[in-house]
Structure 1
């Protein structure tokens, strides 16, 4: 007898169309991430703005955080159909602005709008699952939506690489618009107009969001010039604002994280620090397509796929690690930093090499895979320990904090990567010399920073032993 919780129940008939609408929104957001990473070197070649290179990721992610946080309020106020349509319209507007950008400032504006819409498209489906599917289908629906990121690592670089090969990066953004409209029409036809539940009263941690945005912008503004004074001012301003976030989070009842998460001695603090350090290390991939095209003379398509090896390594590492017995979890957590630090150190040696030798390219590929695999090995067990170290009353905020910490670390990491690269000569002297210097400093400093993981994961394991 066929149960109602199988894949066929999720993927056929009206449920299949609902699944396509929800998974399609996440796929659009994810494909866009890898597509833009692949085409950015071509964009810079056309309209300039190399000193704002990292801003395309930084502001996109900041806007995605805001969109993700707003998604629950948007869903409760508008209902699934209108909320999804609004998300699609904002995303499509961002694509239109990007495709017609005459300079980098307008492109960054478009990326910010894209990020807001993308954050909504990314977060809304997870909230809608319980509204449009029977409870027995929830786990498979979650797996389907999460799997879109794996598909995006294959599709995004391919689409972006093809457009970049023909110097048609604007067409890459235009191509996303009709696809977005198609999913909006599908969602309009298949999703309910209003939630049957009474809208909950949602109070958002606005002060923390404003301060965190300030942290990222301070670091990003400090990275515009290679001047050590401006770099130091930007970094110090960011640290001051980050301390303000710490103070507000500890005293405000509208929190982003579970209670006492940031208190010294808390079991959650080393977990969040480990997650953040891993994600910050991974943000070095923002510059990988540029380095590969300038230093290793690779095509946009090949460069995009090599950069995506980090994400592929994360997926493979997580698939292997998630099947380990609980007794082996500590070993996986310990191995994670070893892979991450070794991968970044190898990248610091191989990426700055110029020329297209097979040996150096093999080293780059191994480095990218190593970083991603290390994160994937530890990540599932870090996430489960977030949930295991909070009372039942805090489970919801703990679950939401996982995405929040990941996105915030991505934004800060991208801004910091931009500062290091610009300070190391990416724009002055620029060219092959500047790119080689920027690559060596970026991956080298991130390897040193990631070495702190050996301390934080040991604290994670020590806290687990006390439970």
Structure 2
């Protein structure tokens, strides 16, 4: 292994190929997300299933949670080489099912399989860094892998948009197969055969995972009906299951979050709540390409890139915010909710408005504001989670960040599907129903995001509190 610490030590020679294999797994997972978001309106036009639109994101993310949680067990049991190979095979199977899907239910099945493989591809590279590179290269390897999300905002909409405009959405999934195979072959040829680390001793919180999955499914199933009663029933069941999960987290030795995180007065509770609310607000992005194509007559390519402005804003906000000092960080965290709410309100006004340059410019600004607000606050919220977690819970605290983000994404997508279906998306009068759905979605999410002012204020009040969990 290289003995220097520069980028050349990471990107050249055998280390360069290893870096390509690990970064490629994360890139495939991230690109796939933006590719499918861009493709979905064209898929619905071809095979129908508008009522299940949000399920493509919801079940993909739910399966990703399972894959992410199982990644350490798979790595310990199979070793880096076979673990990566298994992840690639599962992902390729999901791509194949999506490409062959005759209707939306089959596409959702394929997306679920994709999500399981994608969750493994997403989590395994982070866990493998310590096994593959010298410690001096860990920080740069982390930065390289994280940068794949920024690249995905450029590549995903482009690939999805081009295939959508060619009327060949199935080919977009087929293209992912040789790409996945390439990274699999690199991993199999270059990664260690066995893990040097012992199997993790922390038990998997299986019951909490199952209940979280059922929670999201309950909300999603309720959203299919146009009856407010069934929607309310699905939402109530989901909220009850969420409360049960919180109770289990407080009592069980098998936990998703650090000890005592969800108890009243916990210093971690407002942090996790703030993170979840930020992510839920961003899940409105799922429907942006559809709204833009129907209401503003944008091509799939342009619609995909406008939707990706939210992720780009997150990246830019995080880059700007990450180097701030203590006072600047406090201001960034306080400013985040303001920008998120302002962006969602602007989208609420501009998205249903008549098509034109002014409304399109306002939508672009709204996407950047929402993403930028999240990016400003996100690095500092994550850092405080790691700082305030009990000393013996630091590793679990790190893993909990991904768990909270993925659960909030699945929950937000399920709620978004419920809102737009109730508002009349796909009902008679396509333009009127879509405009109404857009207004309700962004309006309600702006209202929900007002809770950020409460949770962030609580975070700031606890600045001087010493964790005593």
Q: Say which is worse superposed, 425-434 or 121-130, in terms of deviation.
A: 425-434
Mapping for residues 286-305 of structure 1, pairs under 5 Å:
286-305=286-305
Query: Separation in 1 of the partners of 2:11 and 2:176?
Result: 24
Q: Which residue of 2 aligns with 1:376?
A: 375
Mapping for residues 31-110 of structure 1, pairs under 5 Å:
31-110=31-110
Query: Separation in 2 of the partners of 1:354 and 1:102?
Result: 35
Q: CA deviation at 1:329?
A: 1.2
Q: Which residue of 2 aligns with 1:230?
A: 230
Matched residue SS, 2:224? coil
Unaligned runs of 5+ in 1: none
Mapping for residues 431-450 of structure 1, pairs under 5 Å:
431-450=430-449
Indicate if the aligned counterparts of 1:82 and 1:193 stay in contact, CA closer than 8 A.
yes
Q: Which residue of 1 aligns with 2:415?
A: 416
Indicate if the aligned counterparts of 1:291 and 1:435 stay in contact, CA closer than 8 A.
yes
Indicate if the aligned counterparts of 2:72 and 2:200 stay in contact, CA closer than 8 A.
no
- The number of residues matched between the two structures is 465
Mapping for residues 296-335 of structure 1, pairs under 5 Å:
296-335=296-335
Mapping for residues 273-288 of structure 1, pairs under 5 Å:
273-288=273-288
Q: CA deviation at 1:327?
A: 1.9
Matched residue SS, 1:167? coil
| TM-score in terms of structure 2 length | 0.98
Query: Separation in 1 of the partners of 2:438 and 2:222?
Result: 19
Q: CA deviation at 1:197?
A: 3.1
Query: Separation in 2 of the partners of 1:464 and 1:381?
Result: 12
Off by >2 Å, runs of 4+ in structure 1? 196-202
Matched residue SS, 1:465? coil
Q: CA deviation at 1:199?
A: 2.8
Unaligned runs of 5+ in 2: none
CA deviation string 1:139-195 (max 9, x = no partner): 000000000000000000000000000110000000000110111111110001111
Q: CA deviation at 1:3?
A: 6.1
Mapping for residues 171-190 of structure 1, pairs under 5 Å:
171-190=171-190
Query: Separation in 2 of the partners of 1:140 and 1:48?
Result: 45
Mark the CA change 1:62 to 1:248 in structure 2 (over 3 Å): closer, same or farther.
same
Query: Separation in 2 of the partners of 1:48 and 1:466?
Result: 53
CA deviation string 1:21-42 (max 9, x = no partner): 0000000000000000000000
CA deviation string 1:426-449 (max 9, x = no partner): 022351111000000000000000
Q: CA deviation at 1:209?
A: 0.1
Q: Say which is worse superposed, 195-204 or 76-85, in terms of deviation.
A: 195-204
Q: CA deviation at 1:465?
A: 3.0
Query: Separation in 1 of the partners of 2:196 and 2:278?
Result: 40
Instruction: Say if 2:328 is the partner of 1:336.
Output: no
Q: Which residue of 2 aligns with 1:464?
A: 463
Mapping for residues 149-168 of structure 1, pairs under 5 Å:
149-168=149-168
Indicate if the aligned counterparts of 1:73 and 1:202 stay in contact, CA closer than 8 A.
no
Query: Separation in 1 of the partners of 2:257 and 2:267?
Result: 13
Q: CA deviation at 1:265?
A: 1.1
Q: Which residue of 2 aligns with 1:385?
A: 384
Query: Separation in 2 of the partners of 1:227 and 1:8?
Result: 59
Indicate if the aligned counterparts of 2:88 and 2:121 stay in contact, CA closer than 8 A.
yes
Query: Separation in 2 of the partners of 1:97 and 1:125?
Result: 25
Matched residue SS, 1:66? helix
Q: CA deviation at 1:401?
A: 0.5
Matched residue SS, 2:163? helix
Q: Say which is worse superposed, 151-160 or 387-396, in terms of deviation.
A: 387-396
Q: Which residue of 1 aligns with 2:211?
A: 211
CA deviation string 1:57-99 (max 9, x = no partner): 0000000000000000000000000000000000000000000
Query: Separation in 1 of the partners of 2:319 and 2:409?
Result: 22
Q: Say which is worse superposed, 441-450 or 428-437, in terms of deviation.
A: 428-437
| TM-score in terms of structure 1 length | 0.98
CA deviation string 1:191-233 (max 9, x = no partner): 0111133333341000000000011001000100121011000
Indicate if the aligned counterparts of 2:81 and 2:191 stay in contact, CA closer than 8 A.
yes
Q: Say which is worse superposed, 102-111 or 196-205, in terms of deviation.
A: 196-205
Instruction: Say if 2:103 is the partner of 1:114.
Output: no
Matched residue SS, 2:424? coil
Mark the CA change 1:428 to 1:379 in structure 2 (over 3 Å): closer, same or farther.
same
